[in-house]
Structure 1
Amino acid sequence: MTIWLLTLALAAGPVQAQNEAENSNSAQPDRMREVGRSAGKIASQPVRDVGVARTDIPPVLQEAAEAPYSLKGIKSCRDISNAFHALTDVIGPDFKAGEVKKENRAGKLAEAGGKTIVNSLIPFRGLVREVTGAAPAQRRLERAITAGYARRGFLRGIHQTRKCKTPLF
C-alpha cells in the first residue's frame, strides 16, 4: 500500500507541476528547471552516498568559507556588485522581505516519496556515507554555503554603507 501511494505521488508531481506551470506562464521555466534539478539530485543520491560522485564546492564558496568578511579585491561598488552576483549565481536569489513563495504540494510529496525510495536502496546509509567520505563532504559543502550567505549579507551591508548605486537584484 505504501509503495502504491509513493508511486502515485511520484506520478502526480510532474503532472501537477505541469498544470500549475501552464496556469502561470511566467513561472514555467523556473518551475520546470526546479523539478529537473530536484529529480537529478534524488536520482544521483546513491552515487554520492557511496563516494563515486564527488561533491565539489564552487570556488566562490571556497573563498567565502576562507574569509567571509574580507574586502580583499573589493575596491569599488562594481566590485561589490560583481561579488554579490557571483554568490547569487551559486546559492540562489537573496531573501526578499514580504515575498511569499507558493509551494507545489504534489511536487513536494513526489520529492519526499522519491527520496524515501532512493534512500532505502542503501542499507545503513548513514554509516556508508561516513565511511565513504560523502557525509563529511556534504558537511563541508553546507559550511561553504552558510559562509556564502554570510558573505553576501556582508557585501550588501558594505554596498549600503558606501551608498552604492549599482543594482544588487
Structure 2
Amino acid sequence: MRQIALLVSAAALSLVLAGCNAGASARGGVEQVGAGLGDAVTAPLDDLNLRRQEIPTVLLQAESNPYDLRNLNHCRTIAAEIARLDEALGPDTDAPPSQDGSYLSERAADAAASATLGAVRDAVTDFIPARSWVRRLTGADAHSKHVQSAIQAGLRRRAFLKGVGMQRNCAPPAAPAGFVPRRG
C-alpha cells in the first residue's frame, strides 16, 4: 500500500511540474521514468540471479591489483587509466561541479523520476517471499557484494593513481583537481 502511495505522489509531482513553467523539465522526468521503467519492473530478475550487473573490466583489474604501476610511466598514461576509471565509476569527488545550467525544476523532475522508479522497484520486489533468502540461495547476494568490492577497488585505484600523478608532478586529470605542477 505504501508503494502505491509513493507512486501516486511521484506521479502527482510530475503532473504539477508539467502544469507550471517547467514543461520541458517534466517531459524530461517522464522520459527518465520511461527509460528506467523496464529495469525497475524486471528488478526481481536480479534477485533471482537471472540478470546480472556487468562489472567493467577496469574494475576487475583494480580488484585484482589496485596498486599496479605497469605501463604507467608517463602522465598521459596515468591520465588515460584515470579516465577509464572515471568512465566506470563516474566523476571523482575532486571534480568540479557540473555547470550545466540546470534549473530547480529539472532537478525536481529528476528527483520525482527517481522516486517513481524506486517505488516501482520496491513494489515489484516486495512480491518475492523471503527475498533475502532467495538472494542468498540464487547467488544474487554474492554477486552484489562482488560488484561493490570491485567499485571500492576502483575508487582506491583512482585515488592511488592521482597520488602517483601528483608525486610525478603531473597536471590534472593525472593528479587531483586543483593540483598545480611545479615548474622546473
Give the Cα separation in 2 of the matches to 1:150 and 1:49. Answer: 28
Instruction: Work out whether 1:22 is the aligned partner of 2:24.
Output: yes
When normalised by structure 2's length, the TM-score is 0.71
Q: Which residue of 2 aligns with 1:107?
A: 113
1:116-131 equivalent positions in 2, closer than 5 A: 116-131=122-137
Give the Cα separation in 2 of the matches to 1:143 and 1:10. Answer: 33
Give the Cα separation in 1 of the matches to 2:113 and 2:70. Answer: 43
In structure 2, give the amino acid aligned to 1:22: A
Q: Which one has more relative contact order, counting CA pairs under 8 Å at least 6 apart? A: 1
Q: Per the alignment, do residues 47 and 151 of structure 1 end up closer, same or farther by CA in structure 2, a change over 3 Å counting? A: same
Gaps of 5+ in 2: 178-184
Residues 3-34 of structure 1 show CA distances to partners (whole Å, capped at 9, x for unaligned) of 542331342465578776836xxxx6xx7897
Q: Which residue of 2 aligns with 1:63?
A: 61
Q: Which residue of 2 aligns with 1:139?
A: 145
Q: Which residue of 2 aligns with 1:75?
A: 73
Residues 63-122 of structure 1 show CA distances to partners (whole Å, capped at 9, x for unaligned) of 000111121221111110010000110111111378599864433432331232021121
In structure 1, give the amino acid aligned to 2:40: I
2:4/2:119 contact within 8 Å kept? no
- Alignment identity in percent? 30
In terms of fraction of residues, the more helix-rich structure is 1
1:12-51 equivalent positions in 2, closer than 5 A: 12=12, 22=24, 38-51=36-49
How many aligned positions are there? 164
